Amino acid sequence: MKKTVFAALLMLAAATAFGAEKRWVVSEGTTLKSEQSISAANLADLPVGAELTLVEDGGRWLKVQTADGKEGWVYAGRVADAAPVAEVGGGDGLLGGTMQQSQINTAKADSARSIRGLSPETAAYAKQHGTPEALKKELDRILARKVSDKEVKTFLKEGKIGEYAR
Partner 1 sequence: MKRLIVSLAAFSCLAALPAHAGWQDKLNNLMNPESKEGKILSGATQVLSSSQEMTYQTECTVGESLALDSMQRFGKPVNNEALQKYVNLVGNAVARNSRRSTIPYRFVVLDSPVQNAFAAPGGIVFISRGLLNLLDNEAELAAVLAHEVGHVAEKHALKSIRRAQFLQGAASITAATMKGSKGQQFESMIGDMQSTLFDKGLDQGMEFEADQAALETTYRTGYDPSAMTTVLEKLKRQEATATKNGSWFSTHPPLDERLVRVAAGLKKYPDRASLAKLPTRFAKFAKGGKASKTTK
Q: What is the distance between the alpha carbons of residues 20 and 11, in angstroms, rounded to a whole number?
A: 11
SS3 12: helix
Selected from 17, 39, 115, 146, the binder of partner 1 by CB under 8 A is 146
By CB under 8 A, tell whether 115 contacts partner 1. no
Q: What angle do the packed helices 99-116 and 133-144 form, to 10 degrees?
A: 130
Rounding to the nearest 10 degrees, give the CA dihedral for residues 22, 164, 162, 37.
Answer: 20
Output the smallest distance, CB 18 to partner 1, in A: 25
- Rounded to a whole number of angstroms, the minimum distance from the CB of residue 16 to partner 1 is 21
Residues whose CB falls within 8 Å of the CB of residue 113, separated by 6 or more in sequence, listed in order:
119, 143
Q: Which residues inside 10-29 make contact with partner 1, applying CB under 8 A? A: 26-29
> What residue ranges bind partner 1 (CB under 8 A)?
1-2, 5, 26-29, 48, 59-60, 76-78, 80, 82, 84-85, 87-91, 93-94, 102-103, 105-107, 109-110, 113, 118-126, 128-129, 131-132, 134-136, 138-139, 141-143, 145-147, 149, 151-152, 155-156, 158-165
